[in-house]
Structure 1
Amino acid sequence: MEVVLTSLLLGTLTGKIANIAMVALGLGLVIFFHELGHFAVAKWCNVKVERFSIGFGPIIYSFKYGETEYALSIIPFGGYVKMLGQDDVDPSQLSSEEIALDPRSYSAKPVYQRMGIISAGVIMNIITGMLFFAFAFRLGVASTPCIVGTAVPGMPAWESGIQPGDVIHKINGNETTSFMDIIRSSAFSDGDITMEGTHLNGEKFEVKVTPDQTGTRPQIGLLPAQSLQIPVYQDSNERITSKGTAAAKAEPPFSQGDTIKTINGETIENYAQLQRTYAAKSSETLKTGVVREGTPDTEIVEIEVKNNPFRTLGLWMEIGPIESIQKGSPADRAGLKVGDKITHIDGQDVGKALNPLRLPNYFSGRAGETIPIVVNREQDGAQPTEVNLNVVPLDNPAWLEHPVFSNTPLAVGSLGVAFHLIPTVLKVEEGSPAEKAGIKPNALIKKIKIIYPDNETAADWDPIPEVTYEFDDKNKNWANAFWEMQVRPGWPVELTFSQNGKIVEEKLNPWVNPKQKPDDQWSLPVRGIRLQSLREIQKADSMGQALGMGVQYTTNSAKDIYLTLRSLITGRVSPMELSGPVTIAKVAYEVAHDGYAQLLLFLGFLSVNLAVLNFLPIPVLDGGHMVFLCWEGITRKRPNEKVLTAATYVGMIFVLGLMIFVLYLDIFLRALS
């Protein structure tokens, strides 16, 4: 047993070391080719190259060959070629008369040659980026197709009626090739975007969507679909089901590489159908048929998976006004409006007789019936008025659209409405954790922290962290916090609430109401199976086609970088979206898991990124040098030494400041989030 375990550990460790080596080599190549461009053209122009360095700062290792010192430096965030008469750290060299007299100095060369030397690094990165892309497409690149996995409640795409399983064919008249086209179009569009596609039922649609700009970048709220296959990990002990869920207790257990084929004997064609089936039959024990990796499709293994009951605190919260309504939905047709507050359904008080969290189930269970509702509607300059309406719900499963993000409202999919919950307690269930903690109606919830179970740590639940939500006018997170309790079964919560003028803190253990019958439990629409992302392979049939795809991908990547910079300047995209070297290395390591093609694709994008950013007109960067050379070429005079020195130091401060900022984002925000 020890021999087998040791072999597995060594295999995993060897795989990780190999991935790290691949990433280091790849990132090193991107930097190397950039500096090689400067070096090669400088040599061609007979400029003396004093040092060729990969990295900055103190030198770790170096050797001299001919007149050039080749060095590896300690800070691996770039590199440099130090030429006689050109030094970013000492710009006064450009105007030194002694160096200028040396015919092999950079500063002694004509402007066109110096332009060639400066631009060579960028040109080399464009060429190598294109080649990286071409080789990746020749091997076959896995991309995410434009199939909707989730439409986030309350977001523009959800409001426009886009549903899980919908396929997006065109955006603004342009054919889509991957899900990145949706993200790109949302982030960089100056206004509305038009999307054409096909619903899951085969109907064509065309909708106009206005991206939401309240976050760090414009987005419309769509997430890609997953496949029906459980991932295969390098580590055989990696979890494939969420701890504590029904899937983790299934018999027989799920295995890595399993592909879901049937549920209760009915064929499952795609992820959207799987979602709907699990949601529609949420309280039932289901037989999930899978095909094991390496076995014929006809050999189906049936796995019995029980339901996942909702865990609650026993609190009924006040319903908030309607935040958003889907176009063409039953709510839209019935005359409901954003801002309406639902007070009664079928004559029952919402919040005291009906739990607002149960409304998705209530309306889903009454599909096709005419249901009377009463809403309070705000009036300009007058008291709210009571409006009586009738709605006819669609046959959409409850909680199919769950509030997975902060400030996501709770959606009632069968009506097409979404609302927040106000953290004011209207009712406390008898015998519930909330009642035992002494919480009374009219208490105001201030904060909830979902913490690890006693005697368990982050290692036991990796990668699921503890989470804290505060509630106020801006942070309307009760629905999201409630959902996060569900994906952390067995976790206690620390609740802070205001009651009778006092702030109280209590620790509660969420419960499954024992009064619920097993066959009629309020259950989650998911079972806890982890599925891998849906991917399709884009592969060139020949090297010629691969080069063509590489050129196109290079052009699109450069355009994306330009649009990102423009959006950063105009404020459409937040600087918080930037990534630094730590994130770049982390992403490179992750894509290395997916094989050489994905790593080559990433390195290609990094090469183009380096080319575009290096040619920005910022002193210290290649683009800044090009600006000075253009000035010299036009005026026939070298830049003033004081101006040149000042500009160089300003550029250096800017670049160092930017580096510190992105390192802060990498280490203190993303690493701790």
Structure 2
Amino acid sequence: MMTVLGIVIFFVGILLSVAWHELGHFTTAKWFGIKVPEFMVGFGKTIWSRKRGETEFGLKAIPLGGYIRMIGMIPPAPGSDSALGRTRRTGPFQGLMDDARRQSAMDVAPEDADRQFYLRAPWKRVVVMFAGPFMNLVLAVVLFAIVLMGFGVRTYTTTVSEVSACVLPATVAADGPPPQCPADAPPTPAAAAGFQPGDKIVAFNGTPYEQDDWRGMQEAIRSSSGTVTVTVERDGQRLDLTPTLITTQLRDLDDPERIVDASFLGLSPLDEIQRKDLPAVAGEIGSIISRTGEAIIALPSRVPALFGSVFLGEERDLDGPIGVVGVSRIGGEILAQDIPVGQEIAFFLQLLAAVNISLFLFNLLPIPPLDGGQIFPALWEAVKKRIARLRGRPDPGPVDVAKLLPVAYVVALVFIAWSGLLLVADVINPVRLFQ
């Protein structure tokens, strides 16, 4: 029951994020006098709607996104002989483009002729289209700030929680509580050097480390060799301990499935909930944006593994793409865990913030029908107008975005196929963060 409740709550959170995104488009469009007949969350058949003023607000049956409909998104073609954009040109996609132009023109009542999207200055169109993704970024920043500064996050510190008594293979040391040391197992460098639980490491080989920089400490240990000097605080006193590192097999810090040879000390860190400051929030946002951007770029390379997880029974990649159903299911798993309520809420908010970062970056891709597919033509139009003015030539007019419709249809078909594959994978072979 808690899992189902968690799925429902997180799914509602995603829908609210979509509505928040569309609110950015809607608000800026109204600021610039553009008429917006529809504001919808979802696609397909309308299941609920209410009209407020000149805009119909509603929910549709397929909750895989949302949209607002602004009049005049497609300008008349250059050389049109009527307001409906009829031209005498021919081509393999000309009928498709002409139909779209006619439909766009038919949405415009005579009294709204000056409220069309394409009539606004390029910078205004950029603002309208960028406002949606920007709202997702704002929401992500707010959610991360609430988590990091309000709830705090579990952080591995440089305070020693446990000193390993002996050196064990990486595959054994990672499975559950440490087993009894075999008679022939050598002591760890930390045990031999006299480390104790509660020691706070303040410096390694003369380099100071912040209390929350256990990862930096790990990297320093693994990249060193021989006898090193570790400065610790114990009972209010500073001591220099001189362990001699050994090289053994360890799990890679970035890929725990991979075993590497590295230097080993034999300490476990104390983890605690720490509240962060504003610079930490900015750093976390930057890190998430970077990792999410890399993941989006790598999406095509993830297709074979996703296909294998659906049709070949292969194990699902924990770092691979997850759809709306999958991420909602993870939200359900979080709520079903036997952990403090505060931690559950923090997990929820972090996950929702990560979804909003993905929406921010994905929608900025310069391909139709995404928001970036309207931003790029507007920027190109601004460049053309500027060049024309410098050369003393007439205004070249709006960029003919109808020419991008074939690309938009192809992208839409790819997106539908991709969403379907993700949906099947999330149902039959879901990603599970908690086993």
Same topology, TM > 0.5: yes
Q: What do the CA deviations read for 1:419-470 (whole angstroms, capped 9, x no partner)?
A: xxxxxxxxxxxxxxxxxxxxxxxxxxxxxxxxxxxxxxxxxxxxxxxxxxxx
Q: How far has the Cα of 1:639 moved from its partner?
A: 3.9
In 2 relative to 1, CA 567–41 (structure 1 residues): closer, same or farther, beyond 3 Å?
A: same
For the pair 1:538 / 2:271, whether they are aligned, the reply is: no
Instruction: Quote the residue 1:584 is aligned against.
Output: 327
In 2 relative to 1, CA 95–69 (structure 1 residues): closer, same or farther, beyond 3 Å?
A: closer
CA distance in structure 1 between the aligned counterparts of 2:39 and 2:325, rounded to whole angstroms: 24
* Contact 1:59/1:72 (8 A) holds in 2: yes
For the pair 1:663 / 2:410, whether they are aligned, the reply is: no
* Contact 2:6/2:329 (8 A) holds in 1: no
CA distance in structure 2 between the aligned counterparts of 1:622 and 1:221, rounded to whole angstroms: 38
Report the secondary structure of 1:102's partner residue.
helix
* Contact 1:209/1:220 (8 A) holds in 2: no
In 2 relative to 1, CA 174–30 (structure 1 residues): closer, same or farther, beyond 3 Å?
A: farther
CA distance in structure 1 between the aligned counterparts of 2:33 and 2:422, rounded to whole angstroms: 38
Paired residue type of 1:102? A
Instruction: Quote the residue 1:560 is aligned against.
Output: 291
In 2 relative to 1, CA 650–178 (structure 1 residues): closer, same or farther, beyond 3 Å?
A: farther
Instruction: Quote the residue 1:92 is aligned against.
Output: 100
* Contact 1:130/1:553 (8 A) holds in 2: no
Paired residue type of 1:648? A
CA distance in structure 2 between the aligned counterparts of 1:36 and 1:658, rounded to whole angstroms: 26
For the pair 1:57 / 2:44, whether they are aligned, the reply is: yes
CA distance in structure 2 between the aligned counterparts of 1:581 and 1:58, rounded to whole angstroms: 19
Q: How far has the Cα of 1:153 moved from its partner?
A: 4.0
Report the secondary structure of 1:56's partner residue.
strand
Instruction: Quote the residue 1:44 is aligned against.
Output: 31
* Contact 2:7/2:329 (8 A) holds in 1: no
For the pair 1:626 / 2:375, whether they are aligned, the reply is: yes
Aligned with 2:362 (options 594, 598, 613): 613
Instruction: Quote the residue 1:113 is aligned against.
Output: 124
Paired residue type of 1:119? F
Instruction: Quote the residue 2:255 is aligned against.
Output: 219
CA distance in structure 2 between the aligned counterparts of 1:71 and 1:58, rounded to whole angstroms: 10
Report the secondary structure of 2:114's partner residue.
coil
Paired residue type of 2:275? K
In 2 relative to 1, CA 618–535 (structure 1 residues): closer, same or farther, beyond 3 Å?
A: farther
CA distance in structure 2 between the aligned counterparts of 1:38 and 1:116, rounded to whole angstroms: 8
TM-score, normalising length: structure 2: 0.61
* Contact 2:25/2:129 (8 A) holds in 1: yes
Q: What do the CA deviations read for 1:287-312 (whole angstroms, capped 9, x no partner)?
A: xxxxxxxxxxxxxxxxxxxxxxxxxx
Q: How far has the Cα of 1:62 moved from its partner?
A: 0.8
CA distance in structure 2 between the aligned counterparts of 1:126 and 1:664, rounded to whole angstroms: 29
CA distance in structure 2 between the aligned counterparts of 1:646 and 1:174, rounded to whole angstroms: 56
**What pairs with 1:392-403 in structure 2 (closer than 5 Å)?**
none
Paired residue type of 2:295? T
CA distance in structure 1 between the aligned counterparts of 2:330 and 2:244, rounded to whole angstroms: 37
* Contact 2:7/2:328 (8 A) holds in 1: no
Q: How far has the Cα of 1:195 moved from its partner?
A: 8.4
Q: How far has the Cα of 1:17 moved from its partner?
A: 6.6
In 2 relative to 1, CA 538–565 (structure 1 residues): closer, same or farther, beyond 3 Å?
A: same
Report the secondary structure of 1:49's partner residue.
coil
CA distance in structure 2 between the aligned counterparts of 1:561 and 1:68, rounded to whole angstroms: 34
Q: How far has the Cα of 1:601 moved from its partner?
A: 1.7
* Contact 2:248/2:261 (8 A) holds in 1: no
Q: What do the CA deviations read for 1:229-279 (whole angstroms, capped 9, x no partner)?
A: xxxxxxxxxxxxxxxxxxxxxxxxxxxxxxxxxxxxxxxxxxxxxxxxxxx
Paired residue type of 1:645? L
Instruction: Quote the residue 2:412 is aligned against.
Output: 652
CA distance in structure 1 between the aligned counterparts of 2:377 and 2:357, rounded to whole angstroms: 23
CA distance in structure 1 between the aligned counterparts of 2:169 and 2:407, rounded to whole angstroms: 48
Aligned with 1:145 (options 153, 156, 161): 156
Gaps of 5+ in 1: 1-12, 155-161, 186-192, 223-323, 330-395, 397-533
Report the secondary structure of 1:76's partner residue.
strand
* Contact 1:58/1:74 (8 A) holds in 2: yes
| Structure having the larger proportion of residues in helix | 2
Report the secondary structure of 1:621's partner residue.
coil
Q: How far has the Cα of 1:589 moved from its partner?
A: 2.2
Q: What do the CA deviations read for 1:616-661 (whole angstroms, capped 9, x no partner)?
A: 1221111222122222222345444663211111221222222122
For the pair 1:82 / 2:69, whether they are aligned, the reply is: yes
Report the secondary structure of 2:156's partner residue.
coil
Aligned residues: 331
Report the secondary structure of 1:103's partner residue.
helix
* Contact 1:580/1:663 (8 A) holds in 2: yes
CA distance in structure 1 between the aligned counterparts of 2:210 and 2:103, rounded to whole angstroms: 53
CA distance in structure 1 between the aligned counterparts of 2:32 and 2:260, rounded to whole angstroms: 66
In 2 relative to 1, CA 42–640 (structure 1 residues): closer, same or farther, beyond 3 Å?
A: closer
* Contact 1:564/1:573 (8 A) holds in 2: no
CA distance in structure 1 between the aligned counterparts of 2:224 and 2:52, rounded to whole angstroms: 59
* Contact 2:4/2:332 (8 A) holds in 1: no
Q: Higher relative contact order at CA 8 Å, sep ≥6: structure 1 or structure 2?
A: 2
CA distance in structure 1 between the aligned counterparts of 2:71 and 2:58, rounded to whole angstroms: 17
Q: How far has the Cα of 1:30 moved from its partner?
A: 1.6
Please tell me the root mean square deviation across aligned C-alpha atoms, in Å.
5.0
In 2 relative to 1, CA 655–638 (structure 1 residues): closer, same or farther, beyond 3 Å?
A: farther
CA distance in structure 2 between the aligned counterparts of 1:124 and 1:195, rounded to whole angstroms: 45
CA distance in structure 2 between the aligned counterparts of 1:176 and 1:638, rounded to whole angstroms: 57
In 2 relative to 1, CA 32–50 (structure 1 residues): closer, same or farther, beyond 3 Å?
A: same
CA distance in structure 2 between the aligned counterparts of 1:174 and 1:574, rounded to whole angstroms: 40
For the pair 1:102 / 2:113, whether they are aligned, the reply is: yes
CA distance in structure 2 between the aligned counterparts of 1:567 and 1:210, rounded to whole angstroms: 27
Aligned with 1:643 (options 403, 406, 410): 403
Paired residue type of 1:48? K
Paired residue type of 2:334? V
Q: What do the CA deviations read for 1:149-180 (whole angstroms, capped 9, x no partner)?
A: 997549xxxxxxx999999999xx99895899
Q: How far has the Cα of 1:123 moved from its partner?
A: 1.0
* Contact 2:118/2:398 (8 A) holds in 1: no
In 2 relative to 1, CA 573–653 (structure 1 residues): closer, same or farther, beyond 3 Å?
A: closer
Q: How far has the Cα of 1:548 moved from its partner?
A: 3.8
CA distance in structure 1 between the aligned counterparts of 2:371 and 2:357, rounded to whole angstroms: 14
Instruction: Quote the residue 2:141 is aligned against.
Output: 130
TM-score, normalising length: structure 1: 0.41
Paired residue type of 2:323? G
Instruction: Quote the residue 1:23 is aligned against.
Output: 10
Instruction: Quote the residue 1:549 is aligned against.
Output: 280
Q: How far has the Cα of 1:574 moved from its partner?
A: 5.9
CA distance in structure 2 between the aligned counterparts of 1:48 and 1:574, rounded to whole angstroms: 45
Report the secondary structure of 1:84's partner residue.
coil
Q: What do the CA deviations read for 1:325-382 (whole angstroms, capped 9, x no partner)?
A: 95689xxxxxxxxxxxxxxxxxxxxxxxxxxxxxxxxxxxxxxxxxxxxxxxxxxxxx
* Contact 1:195/1:206 (8 A) holds in 2: no
Q: How far has the Cα of 1:208 moved from its partner?
A: 12
CA distance in structure 2 between the aligned counterparts of 1:85 and 1:641, rounded to whole angstroms: 11
Q: What do the CA deviations read for 1:174-218 (whole angstroms, capped 9, x no partner)?
A: 989589999xx9xxxxxxx958998xx984869899998xxxx97
In 2 relative to 1, CA 663–617 (structure 1 residues): closer, same or farther, beyond 3 Å?
A: same
